[in-house]
Amino acid sequence: MTRHNSSVTLSILKDLVSFDTTSYKSNLQLIDYAHNLLSTYGIEATIIKDASDRKANLYAIIGPTDRPAVALSGHTDIVPVDGQDWTVDPFSLSIKNNRAYGRGTCDMKGFIASVLSALPALTERELKRPVAIVLSYDEEIGCTGVRPMIEDLLAKNIQIGGCIVGEPSAMKAVTAHTGKQVYRCSFNGTAMHSSLSPGGINAISYAGQVINEISRIEKILKEEKTDDTRFAYPHPTINIGMIQGGKAVNIVAEHCQFDVECRYPPGCDHRLFTDGLPHFIETRTHPLMAKEADRAGASCQKIVDYPAFTIPDDAEIVQLARRLSGSNDDIAVNYGTEAGLFKAAGFETVVCGPGDIAQAHQADEFIELEQLSLCDSFIQNLVGELARDGGAHG
């Protein structure tokens, strides 16, 4: 039997962190790295590139093809480091105080490194059920990259009996999380000298009226609560995260744009925002602006949409995650993952991965070495359970 060495995980993590896979950049170096590593162990992989040929998904099946696979899913993209005050090189793994520092260590290259470090065990043990390694792109900008890979898996009738999404959860099973929709609201007015402002159409002023409407909606949605008391915020939440507009204080603002998101727990009615905001802009704001000038107006475009996720705690994949981790905790989180998309495709799914979400997206992002060790043990336990002598279920 192959014994696992956590130093292998750290070595792979060092390589993964060195690839700058920020969402607006290519992830092909990382995908090629994983592809080559799989090839070393004689494992064939399917690569699905996007239209630009700059990004790709990868999946590989290890073991018998006539049984449903347990998928281990991770996204390869990371959030930007721009404007953050890092004390270490974000793209060079630093080990200190029993922590591994670097962009993506927690979210979620640590999980991917742990999966790839298990390749010797996965190929040397005779599996009764297969394992699918699933790597995606563009999760951080709305879970967009994984969709064509899911379509490919379905089109090829590849059986996925259960999916473990390795987002940071301190190796505890997450059985529910919020969904999210993001809208981009754009306003076009007329520019002129501010001394003549009554004769102009100020895009920022109209944007402000819409923001007031969003605040009204937000107050109402706070009363739309789920019965699931595990959620820190048991109601839909709204955040205006980006806004830009105007050129100078003495010029009537010709343009303004902001992005606003709504996150909602499973079962919460969030339509007051997701239907109400576009309706307000289309029927109230735009007509008022267009009435003043032909070229003026407002629009509301949905740019991100992924579903809320929930799965019964007695589902087989949840019970499997609990056995592998040794933890019976059952938690819900206010962040989102690709789990809802896998579940919508018919794949039983649970979120369970190393690290603390509080460390993700921060300067000096890190993962505790103990968390990597727990994840290594988790995957080794999975290999044992799916092996011929392991007593696999399903």
- Say if residues 45 and 35 touch (Cβ distance below 8 Å): yes
> Catalytic residue at 77?
yes
- Say if residues 178 and 239 touch (Cβ distance below 8 Å): no
Q: State the catalytic residue, choosing from 77, 261, 338, 348.
A: 77
Distance CA 27, CA 198 (A): 50
Distance CA 331, CA 172 (A): 7
- Say if residues 185 and 207 touch (Cβ distance below 8 Å): yes
Q: State the catalytic residue, choosing from 107, 138, 139, 365.
A: 139
> Catalytic residue at 356?
no
**For residue 101, which phi and psi values (nearest 5 degrees)?**
-100, 145
Q: Which of 79, 171, 167, 25 is nearest to 365 (CA)?
A: 79
Contacts 24+ apart (CB under 8 A), 237-240: 237/178, 237/262, 237/263, 237/264, 237/334, 238/214, 238/262, 238/273, 239/263, 240/211, 240/214
| 108: preceding bond cis by omega (within 30 degrees) | yes
- Say if residues 391 and 384 touch (Cβ distance below 8 Å): no
SS3 390: coil
- H or E element: which one contains 59? strand 56-62
Distance CA 331, CA 308 (A): 14
Full 3-state SS string of 235-248? CCEEEEEEEEECCC
Catalytic residue set: 77, 139
